[in-house]
Structure 1
Amino acid sequence: MGEAAQMLTGNCAYHVDVEEMNEREALALLKSKLSSKVLHTEAEAAELVKTVDYMPLAISQVATNISINYPRLTIPKAIEKLKTPTQETNQLLEISLHETSRDIQRSNSIVKTWHLSFQYVRETSPSAAKLLSLMCLFHRQGIPEALLAGHYGEEAKTSEEIATLQPRLTWWRQIRRRRLRLRRRKRTTEPKAVAQEIKSDFEHDWRVLTDFTLIRTRIDGRQFDMHRLVQHTTRRWLELNGELKAWMKKYVAVISRSFPAPEEHDNWAVCQYLFPHAQQAVTYRPEEAPALQSWGLLIQQVSWTAYTIGRYALAEELGRTSLKALEDTMDERSVVMLSALHQFGLVLEPLKYHRETETLFRRAFEGRVVVLGPHHIDTLTSAHQLGMTLNRQGKHEEGLAIYMRVVEGYERTFGPGSEETQSMLSGLAFSYTADGQYEQAEIFHRRADVVRKEQFGEESEDNQRLRGLALLLGMQGKFQEAEEIHRRVVETARNRSGLCSTETVKSINFLGEALAKQGKLEEAVELYGPVVDGYNDFDVKTREVALSCMQTLAEVLLEQGELEKAENIARQLIARREALIGADHVETLVSVHTLADILSQQKRYDEALVSYERAYVGTDLVCGAEHPDTKEFLNDFNHAKNHMLSWCGDSRVSSLDVKESGYVAAPPAMLAFQSPVPILI
């Protein structure tokens, strides 16, 4: 459109931008098109026009369809179909219904209208059509240029399809192909020229799609958005022309090449940024075995990313999908398959599926014994996880036997006095501590201590192991002895690394918890002060630990009755956790629940109920309904509803739409506070 305007006027100063329809205008158009018999609320109408992005033709078509098919088709049902496109959505958007204000020979179907645009773009600018074909498979918001330029230029056809086309080429096309191949060879010796050409081609194709308003460019100029209807109709066009599967295969290849290993901490920011786009690949399951295997490995990485950011229910769903694909294409005893079994076991751990987790770790362990040998580090890692799972189910005798096997393996592989063996012994002690097996935990702690002293001397001290011993003592009720050890650890960490180190902040957090358990609340508050004040000076890893300190501090202040201070800390905590790990992360939701407790103590029940609901709804989505935290948060939420109703009295109850216990929950989308998470490069 911009080029057409320039050709007509010859001067950009004469161009007049036609602004998009705003919400008020869109609602007015909707009401003029809807039949009077269609019952709806103002909120539903606003949601509908927002869903179609205030597009006049889309509003008109959807409103007409609703009016004709009401009450079988209502506004809420139309919104649902538009947000999650299906075959029914195609019918909703493709049926052309005549309006008196439009030429009868012109189509009133938004899909057909866009399809004409796609066809024109394909005929006049084939490479721009290819760019659009790839873009429509991404998550519709924040499509990065880096994953587009240079990835869409080749034909999205399989080698078999290309082979069948070759004999049909005329002689002049064959000559042209040979010339193109020679040019490509020349270009490979000039990488800078290639990059400039790709950049130039992309700029041209971007301009074509922008002129047709098929995409929008964000202010940074490097990310793009597509409206969900443009995305849906483009996919529909590819499906009708038999090209969708080929482009899906290309998309999976692009994401697979670009998605980094989420196990490495340095890749977290990139993984979180690409996560919505990688999730799209889940629905693009290929059929051929080699492609299916690559797809399964990609989904495995996406599952691990979901696990890393605390979205455990999604991680489980993706993990099952990935494992099924790998089981269909790989040998049970392949190294990659065994690694997948182990990783899926880790994904299920937070959900407490102990029996299934045991099966997965046992399969990984037994397979690795055969493939890698009994003393390989991966074999021992699977054995360690298997031992923990057995202990959690009360199978302590078998768990201990597995653990002793792990210790023996570490001693043979790394040596009895090695740092690796000491870490393993401490890890076993932590595991037994967590399972309440304090006597066994103490045995492994003492064994680790003996090994350390034999290796480094009587005066050597290891903060991590000392913390483990202090925690164990605290769990046994030996609070004074535990506090003394924690103080020693904090002092050592301060002297070695200063306040801004992760080690120091972690030690302070443990000491503060030990003080709180003894009722030394004022001392705990004083201890946490420098951590809260110095938050902005910490690196990302240390900030995560500092937020744990703030969580404990908020709880201590709540227990002290310092409700105003507790609220201030809790709100800081939520804001910082939303910025650092995301609004839907489990730890963020725990902070929201703490704020709800504080507000409830202040008798601000309306506000408390919103926070209780956000904590419950979010945890249910992330962890599932059977997770202990979900059950606890649901119980607190219901208790708060009943409390508020009894406090408000009959006059307030009448103003609430009765739903179960009488409170109408706000939509989860409003409660989740989907604030964008900054990319931490």
Structure 2
Amino acid sequence: MQRSREFTGAVSGRNVVAGPYCGPGGTMNFNFGGYPPTQDELSRKRKPFSTVPFAPDPDFVDRPEILAWIRDKCAGQGARAALVGLGGVGKSQIAIQYSHEVRDASPRTFVFWVHASTKARFEEAYRGIADRLELPERNDPKVDVLRLVSNWLYNETNGKWVMVLDNVDDIEVFYPKRTRTRDESSTVALAPLAVYLPQSRNGSILITSRSKDTAARLAGGYRNIKEVHAMDESQALDLFQNKLHSASSEEGAANLLSALDYIPLAITQAAAFINRRGRITASGYLDEFRRNDKKRESLLNWDSGDLRRDESASNSVVLTWQMSFERIHEQRRSAADLLSLMSFFNPQGIPEWILRRHSRSVAKTGDEDEADNVFDEDLDTLQAYSLITATANRDVCEMHALVQFCTRAWLSTFSNSKQWDREFLGLMAREFPSADFKNWTKCQQLLPHIESLYNSEPPSNDLVKKWAKVLNDAARYIQKAQGKYEEAERMNRLALKGCEKELGEQHLQTLTGANNLALVLRSQGKYNEAEKLSRRAVEGFEKELGEQHPHTLTRVNNLALMLRAQRKCDEAEKLSRRALEWRKKELGEQHSDTLMSVSNLAGVLRYQGKYDEAEKLNRRALEGREKELGGQHPSTLRSVSNLAGVLRDQGKYDEAEELNRRALEGREKELGVQHPHTLRSVSNLAGVLRDQGKYDKAEKLNRRALEGREKELGVQHPPTLTSVGNLASVLRD
């Protein structure tokens, strides 16, 4: 810097000039030097101020855990901390509150608010700080104003300061990628904005971002970030009450806040809409919200304006989140595709394994390891933007219902929603397993996610087979594992109707639907309709596949069960022997289907009073199932129960009681105490106890069976009426 060449002022004894010389009558100029005041010296006297562009919010609801974390993290010298989370969860509002707290508690601390969503917004904020500090040379076009502000911040003599970097969602704003020159021989490195964020002992920086990765990089690691979630129920209610103009509008608030996932922006938006309407209550808003998807999207798109949100930020929930969707779509298309698929699942309990299997199926390389790596990166990206979360069970993901809905709305507007609907249906058709006992855990995992399929209209011809398969498999599961016969019947009827319409009455998929509906009707005692449907299925399969085809014989077996239940034993025996003979020959003695036919024939013979042969066949079925399936398998327990029944018929009460207790304990453990099969075992044990004169125990069990059947099956269901008769008999005894 050039030294000053002028000096004016008196010379005292304190000033010593060594060896000066001047001719007679001449003058001498002295430079008692020093530099002019620096820009820091000129601006140092500025009284500390705040550039936070928002006034304190009188409606703010304290989130003490988060504010305490910020205070602790930002207390250190040169500290950095970051709040991350979905758009609209209140990150900026918490930062505003913290900023005002700092000014109130420490008036000698500067507070700088820097909008950092783009490079231009960051530069604009720094220029504003330079103006407020009145930094020299700030208006010189050749001077780097960002460096001027950064240097001032570095200088500890300027005092303490706190900076809020708001909406830092794009890491390339602070760390731009290198760009190649035209001849690709060199790269041009742009100065990253991050260099203008000083790490000086007198300052701290609080960052808000939707991206965990971006926040972690600027804050110095993931240990310095705090995820902001939706409010809890109490906080949400306080916010809603604060925002409402009239207390009378609060009616039904709890249900509305739950539907809004306790998201602050959605709550504020709803309250503003209710205030504007005047006559509408929270319950009325919820009715509108639930009316249909179109109305819901309209409400979530409504922009009421908010003085405490950045002017560039939308106050519409849909548009706020669509910014995240679009950023992911631009940066990592495969992650956007994964989010699109996940939006068709139930938002809670999404199994990671099924998403991973889909990722492998669409991988272009066919390399499973590479596909898994891509999937893991995609999942991490969605988690980094807080669009999904991993639960305590690390193999399960979740997303807010509103995020799911807004993703679907974005797909409908900017992408191909029908494509992802087809992808989801195809995935479920491949992955929803048969209702075998070994698959029950997987069936239960997937069941909530297919609810949308049986609450909507059947798809067109090219998709109806997949749709019907999912419905039939799910119906069979809830019938066998949960004993929910009415719900299973509804699903089976829906699938059958859709297949008849799109595929025709003689299509094998349609005939399978008829057979499945017959099975659930039989379980409810609706034998006439069940028999008609079962005969239709047998005749159709015989015509299409032949009389000896395995699928045909499965339908023959089912028809035999239908006839046995109606005491049409001669035809039932004939059909059962037909199925058994073929299965023994083609599948072998120990095949599960063969053992099923053995058990079914034994049942028919028991009804005919042929107890010796029935007992022999039941023992054979039980031994085979214990060996092939294990002692606790539901089919094995059915054989235990069947053998107990035929032994009771023969007066072999001790062994019958022992087997009935075994069946009851096994079913309670595997199926639950209220499952219809468990209640059947309760009734069976009561019967054999009554036969032995143990009336008190029999009465107690009969009452349990009756109460359970009334609750699970209804008062007019055949097994319920059987329990009424059984209880009456034991009381009479």
Q: TM-score, normalised by structure 2?
A: 0.55
Within 5 A, what are the aligned runs for 1:304-453? 304-309=476-481, 310-330=483-503, 332-374=505-547, 378-379=551-552, 381-383=554-556, 385-386=558-559, 389=562, 399=568, 402-403=571-572, 405-406=574-575, 409=578, 413=582, 427=600, 430=603, 441-442=608-609, 445=611, 448=613
Deviations 1:29-69 (A, max 9, x none): 0111234253556xx43333233222111111223334444
Where do 1:464-503 residues align within 5 Å? 464=618
- The alignment's C-alpha RMSD in Å is 5.3
Counterpart residue type for residue 240 of structure 1 = T
Q: Which structure is larger by alpha-carbon Rg, 1 or 2?
A: 2
Q: Tell me: CA distance 1:82–1:530, structure 2 relative to 1, closer, same or farther (3 Å).
A: same
Equivalence for 1:129: 336
Compared CA separation, residues 237 and 509, structure 1 to 2 (3 A): same
How many Å separate the matches in 2 of 1:466 and 1:133? 52
Which one has a larger percent helix, Structure 1 or Structure 2? 1
Q: What SS does the aligned partner of 2:248 have? A: coil
Counterpart residue type for residue 128 of structure 1: A
The aligned amino acid for 1:23 is E
CA distance in 1, matches of 2:679, 2:561: 28
% of aligned pairs identical? Answer: 27
The range that moved more, 247-256 or 366-375, is: 366-375
Residue of structure 1 equivalent to 2:433: 260
Q: How does 1:198-213 map to 2 (within 5 A)?
A: 198-213=371-386
Deviation track 1:380-438 (CA, whole Å, cap 9, x = no partner) reads 55455446546767xx7xx456336526745875799x9899986874674597xxxx6
Amino acid of the structure 1 residue aligned with 2:417: L
Deviation at 1:300, TM superposition (A): 2.1
Indicate the residue corresponding to 1:594 in structure 2. Answer: 704
Q: In the alignment, what sits opposite 1:608?
A: none
Counterpart for residue 731 of structure 2: none
In the TM superposition, residue 343 of structure 1 has moved relative to its aligned partner by: 2.1
Q: State how far apart, in whole Å, the 2-side matches of 1:16 and 1:305 are.
A: 42
> Is 1:55–2:263 an aligned residue pair?
yes
Q: Deviations along 1:184-204, whole A, 9 cap, x unmatched? A: 6xx45xxxxx33322332232
Deviation at 1:239, TM superposition (A): 1.1
Rounded to whole Å, the distance in 2 between the matches of 1:535 and 1:407 is 28
Residue 2 in structure 1 maps to residue 212 in structure 2: yes
Matched, 1:91 2:298: yes
Question: Is the Cα contact below 8 Å between 2:241 and 2:247 reproduced in 1?
Answer: no
More divergent stretch after superposition (10-19 vs 281-290) = 281-290
Q: Structure 1 residues 94 and 528 mapped into 2: Cα distance closer, same or farther (>3 Å)?
A: same
Match of 1:31 in 2: 241
Moved more, 268-277 or 401-410: 401-410
Deviation (angstroms), 1:231: 0.5
**What residue identity is the alignment partner of 1:25?**
Q
Structure 1 unpaired stretches of 5+: 156-182, 189-193, 450-460, 468-488, 571-589, 598-611, 635-681
Q: What letter matches 1:269 in structure 2?
A: T
* Cα distance, 1:33–1:628 mapped onto 2, change above 3 Å: farther
Task: Write out per-residue CA displacement over residues 468-498 of structure 1, whole angstroms, 9 at most, x where no aligned residue.
Answer: xxxxxxxxxxxxxxxxxxxxx99xx99xx99
- Separation in structure 1 between the aligned mates of residue 573 and residue 540 of structure 2, nearest angstrom: 19
How far the C-alpha of 1:363 sits from its partner, in A, is 1.1
Q: 1:232 corresponds to which letter in structure 2?
A: F
| Counterpart residue identity of residue 246, structure 1 | Q
Aligned residue identity for 1:279: E
Partner of residue 321, structure 2: 114
The match for 2:353 among 146, 163, 166 is 146
For 2:602 and 2:539, the matched residues in 1 are separated by 24
Q: Which amino acid aligns with 2:391?
A: R
The TM-score, its normalising length taken from structure 1, stands at: 0.59
**What is the rounded CA distance, in whole Å, between the counterparts of 1:75 and 1:273 in structure 2?**
34
Query: Residues 414 and 352 (structure 1 numbering): CA distance in 2 closer, same or farther, change over 3 Å?
Result: closer
Structure 2 contact 572–604 (Cα < 8 Å) conserved: no
The residue identity in structure 2 corresponding to 1:406 is L
1:15 to 221, 225, 248: 225
**Which residue does 1:675 correspond to in 2?**
none
Q: What's the counterpart of residue 45 of structure 1?
A: 253
Per the alignment, residue 64 of structure 1 pairs with 272
State the secondary structure of the residue aligned to 1:224: strand
CA contact (8 A) 1:27 1:45 kept: yes
Please tell me whether the aligned partners of residues 605 and 611 of structure 2 are also in contact (alpha carbons under 8 angstroms).
no
Q: Distance in 2 between matches of 1:236 and 1:386?
A: 47
**Structure 1, residues 194-246: CA drift from partner, whole Å, max 9, x if none?**
33322332232223222221111112332210111111111111112251100
Partner secondary structure for residue 148 of structure 1: helix
- 1:140-195: CA deviation from partner (whole Å, max 9, x where unpaired): 1121222223635999xxxxxxxxxxxxxxxxxxxxxxxxxxx96xx45xxxxx33
1:6 to 1:106, Cα distance in 2 relative to 1, 3 A: closer
Counterpart residue identity of residue 444, structure 2: Q
Rate the CA distance shift 1:74–1:312 in 2: closer, same or farther, 3 A.
Answer: farther
Question: Given residue 331 of structure 2, which amino acid in structure 1 is its aligned partner?
Answer: T
Partner Cα distance (1:261, 1:526) in 2? 33
Q: Per the alignment, do residues 31 and 353 of structure 1 end up closer, same or farther by CA in structure 2, a change over 3 Å counting?
A: same
SS of corresponding position for 1:38: helix
Structure 1 contact 52–58 (Cα < 8 Å) conserved? yes
User: Which of the numbers 260, 269, 272 marks the counterpart of 2:444?
Assistant: 272
Contact 2:348-2:399 within 8 A present in 1 as well: yes
